[in-house]
Structure 1
């Protein structure tokens, strides 16, 4: 579901208050050249992630789903010089593109991209004592969203912010679609958040260059 006016407004916002710079533009170009799907966050959404990390005063960030590293760059730029960001990417080819883009942006000293299924990588992070993270951004396969949120809780502290992308699914999240695992997983994630006393959350719908979708925003309270 797309609308030319949504796209025009997003372009206006990006051009006036959240423009891509050379490194971000190069990241998108390199991702497209490598054949990655064009599903990175929009520039104004990348800027939102950047500002959330800054407002949070984040020093450590966990990203689940790297793709070409576009959102990773936005998030990492909000970190202090001694901050760290760990991003988990299933596809080795995507991870290679992301690492090159992150290095081009001058952020390879504070960003680590780990390759493999996130549900394998997350237990290893816990075993390493990698947490707690100040902010977790989840933008990976939607069927596993409830598992990713559960792991985000394990790797969090009181005050950690958790952001989950693509939770509206063209409005289909409001109705059951048992034949669509992305919607089933997203609804299961909402059910988990609703019954989890340690999470205070909201969700909102968005329209723009990425169509009709939305975000979940949650704060760990205990």
Structure 2
């Protein structure tokens, strides 16, 4: 496994600078956000650079103008989404007050504070309010949702997100494979149990067409759950 991990990291280290040269306008803001988050003591669990750009490219390819993120951390993925898509406005929700403070500083330093709204609160409390605002016409429906928060609420977040997106929008949940533990029925870790519930429940949910995609790279072996809302 260690040799595989070294290979995955080496591929990211080789390929990413070619696909996203350091001369790109958002490179410094992204690097500064990671450095500031580390200096502030935030855990180093943000998406990889390649994953962040992939999410941003998806939003560009599908013309997303309003996106929702659950789990801001230090704002790294938020900066990816907004900086690569000048037409996009992002609402991102974060429970930890310290993370909110760091994220807002990072997003402001990137020049994106006017297009990225950081809401402090538990996702399970904030999302129902956002849903009600969308249904009332006070907030536009979202075209993309990225969920990377407390895993025990993954399915709750997806059900709420499903009620506030446009038809054919994508909902993505991060960290669902967890080094293959997803497939171990004897694993009783609440995060794994909750993620199995997400995968199994989504397969029975009308209006969702989903897939689990395993990923490797500088962040190791994990995966994403992707679904199109019909």
TM-score, length of structure 1 as denominator length: 0.94
Which among 3, 6, 23 is matched to residue 4 of structure 1?
6
User: What is the alpha-carbon distance in structure 2 between the residues aligned to residue 206 and residue 85 of structure 1?
Assistant: 25
Q: Output aligned runs, 1:78-89, within 5 Å.
A: 78-81=84-87, 83-89=88-94
CA contact under 8 A between 2:56 and 2:85: conserved in structure 1?
no
- Equivalent residue, structure 2, for 1:142: 151
Cα offset, 1:174, TM superposition: 0.6
Cα displacement (A) at 1:18: 2.9
What per-residue deviation string (whole Å, max 9, x for no partner) do you get for residues 23-66 of structure 1?
A: 00000000000000000011110110011101110000000000
The structure 1 segments of at least 4 consecutive aligned residues displaced by more than 6 Å after TM superposition are none
- Of 77, 82, 85 in structure 1, the residue corresponding to residue 83 of structure 2 is 77
Q: Counterpart in 1 of 2:104?
A: 99
Cross-structure match for 2:220: 211
**Match among 109, 117, 122 for residue 117 of structure 1:** 122
Residue in 1 that maps onto 2:69? 63
- Trace 1:167-206 onto structure 2 (pairs within 5 A): 167-177=176-186, 179-206=188-215
The answer to whether structure 1 residue 132 and structure 2 residue 141 are counterparts is yes
The unaligned stretches of length 5 or more in structure 2 are none
Return the TM-score normalized by structure 2.
Answer: 0.91
State the distance in 1 between where 2:21 and 2:48 align: 10
**Does structure 1 residue 39 correspond to structure 2 residue 41?**
no
Alpha carbons 2:131, 2:161 under 8 Å: kept: no
Q: Distance in 2 between matches of 1:80 and 1:57?
A: 11
Deviation at 1:131, TM superposition (A): 4.4
RMSD: 1.4
1:23 counterpart (26, 29, 35): 29
Task: Decide whether aligned partners of structure 1 residues 122 and 176 sit closer, same or farther in structure 2, where only a CA change above 3 A counts.
Answer: same
Count how many residue pairs are aligned between Structure 1 and Structure 2: 220
Structure 2 SS opposite 1:197? coil
Aligned to 1:13: 15
Secondary structure at the counterpart of residue 161 of structure 2: helix
Gap change, CA 1:177 and 1:53, over 3 Å in 2: farther
